[in-house]
Amino acid sequence: MVHDTLPTTGQVMAVVGLPAAPLRRFVLDYRGYRMSLDRPRRRLEVPTDVVTVALAFEGTMRLTDAVSPAPAVSFGSIAAGLRRTATIAEHAGALHGLAVSLTPQGAFRAFGPVAGELGGQWAEAGEVLGPRLDRLAARLADAPTWRARFALLDGYFTALLADGPVWEPDVVWAWHQLRRSRGLVPVRALVEGTGWSRRRLEQRFREQLGLAPKQAAGILRLQRTLRLLTAPDGRSARAADLAALCGYYDQSHLDRTFRGMVGCSPREFLASRRAAAAAATAATGLEPVDRIVGRITSAVLDADRS
């Protein structure tokens, strides 16, 4: 059992919990965190095929788009739908809360059409997911241990998922094809397979996932690219081979697409991750780089970088 004790200055406590077995088709994991750092922390969060609900007990997060910078927006608890572009997230150093990672299908079943409306957006979680979530957040903050918090989340999502809305079967099929092919299946094949028009397919995807099929495919291709680039032997692979394997015309196409989604080049992204890993070997107080098991999600940025 992990007790929720305050870390000393310069430290981070992070705890990962698996949901109850019946939930795992829809809920990927729970991640508790408590940070007490002596300076701000900035993270680059890349697009993934995961919907995130982060419930804050202490501290706020400032978010801005990494590709099309605009004034940062501050949130306590956050609901974040699927996004095609990366996010820069910054906190002042003290942060306490937990995050829930859901599949897009799980988010729709738990929260209904609002899950689709979150596509491409961040929102204050209580405002879009309802007062029941605010009440849950208060109970979670009062719970004595992370294990008790994860049990509360199991109960909350068991009730939501029991009778929530479900994706249309053709959306389920099309999403499976996209995931199975890692984003390489052509949209026209999805149109032919569903028997829908391209317009209807896009409409249903936007309503139930929050993005069009082509955008969702781009996220899946990006994730495969990141997994290969960050694999132990990934940097030794020929760039042209990597580009072709991940569905890009050539290395230039990969670089342009990567920059258009992440806001930096693959080389710069990997350099940030290597720098964070090197710093972690020399000091405490660095949270795990990736916030979702099995996905490449993040690069920790220097707080002084503009």
% of the chain with per-residue pLDDT over 90: 75
What backbone torsions phi and psi does residue 25 show, to the nearest 5 degrees? -70, -25
Q: What is the mean pLDDT of residues 148-165?
A: 96
Report pLDDT for 234. 55
Query: Which residues, including other chains, have CB under 8 Å from residue 265's CB and lie 6 or more apart?
Result: 255, 258, 259
The predicted structure's pLDDT at residue 205: 98
In the prediction, which pLDDT does 235 show? 55
| Residue the block writes with tokens 């202490």 | 58
C-alpha closest to that of 113 among 100, 96, 130, 98: 130
**Cα-only R_g, the chain:** 19
The pLDDT, as a whole number, for residue 281 is 53
When the pLDDT of each residue in the chain is averaged and rounded to a whole number, the result is 89
pLDDT for position 280: 59
Give the pLDDT confidence score for residue 39 in this predicted structure.
86
* Residue 303, pLDDT score: 40
Contacts of 280 (CB under 8 A, 6+ apart): 286
* pLDDT recorded at residue 215: 97
pLDDT tier at 305, thresholds 50, 70, 90 = very low
> Side by side, which strands form the sheet with 41-45?
73-75, 61-65, 87-91, 41-45, 298-301
The predicted-structure confidence for 10-25, as pLDDT tens digits, reads as follows 577 889 999 999 999 9
DSSP for the chain, written as a single string: --B-PPPPTTEEEEEEEPPPGGGTTTEEEEEEEEEE-SS-EEEEE---S-EEEEEEEE--EEEEESSS----EEESSEEE---SS-EEEEE-SEEEEEEEEE-HHHHHHHHTTHHHHTTT-EEEHHHHH-HHHHHHHHHHHH-SBHHHHHHHHHHHHHHHHHS-----HHHHHHHHHHHHTTT-S-HHHHHHHHT--HHHHHHHHHHHTSS-HHHHHHHHHHHHHHHHHHSTTGGGS-HHHHHHHTT-SSHHHHHHHHHHHHSS-HHHHHHHHHHHHHHHHH-S----S-SSTTS--EEEEPTT--
Higher-confidence position of 279 and 234 = 279
Q: Look at residue 286 in the predicted model and tell me its pLDDT.
A: 52
pLDDT, average across residues 156-178: 96
> Residue 137: pLDDT above 60?
yes
Give me the pLDDT at residue 6, please.
Answer: 45
Q: How many residues does the chain have?
A: 306
Whole-number pLDDT of residue 154: 98
> Which pLDDT band holds residue 36 (cuts at 50, 70, 90)?
confident
User: Alpha-carbon distance 265 to 256, whole Å?
Assistant: 8
The answer on pLDDT for 263 being more than 60 is yes
pLDDT at 2 over 70: no
pLDDT digits (tens, 9 = 90+) for 266-283: 999 999 888 877 665 555
Bridge partners of residue 17, in order along the sequence = 30
Q: What is the pTM of this model?
A: 0.91
Mean pLDDT confidence for 115-127: 94
